[in-house]
Amino acid sequence: MRRKDLEFEVCNRVFLKLAAWKGVVRFGKRRKLSPIYIGPYEIIERIGPVAYRLNLLGELSQVHDVFHISMLCKYISDPSHVLETPEIELRDDLSYEEQPAQILGREVKRLSNKTTPLVKVLWRNHLVEEATWE
The structural domains of the chain, with segments of one domain joined by +, span: 13-76, 100-133
What is residue 121's predicted lDDT score, i.e. its pLDDT? Answer: 92
What is residue 45's predicted lDDT score, i.e. its pLDDT? Answer: 94
* Burial class, 119, CB count within 10 angstroms (exposed 0-12 / middle 13-18 / buried 19+): middle
What is the C-alpha to C-alpha distance for residues 25 and 19, in angstroms, rounded to an integer? 10
What is residue 93's predicted lDDT score, i.e. its pLDDT? Answer: 73
What is residue 25's predicted lDDT score, i.e. its pLDDT? Answer: 45
Low-confidence ranges of the chain (pLDDT < 50): 24-25
What is residue 10's predicted lDDT score, i.e. its pLDDT? Answer: 92
What is the C-alpha to C-alpha distance for residues 5 and 59, in angstroms, rounded to an integer? 30
At residue 109, what are phi and psi to the nearest 5 degrees? -95, 135
What is residue 13's predicted lDDT score, i.e. its pLDDT? Answer: 92
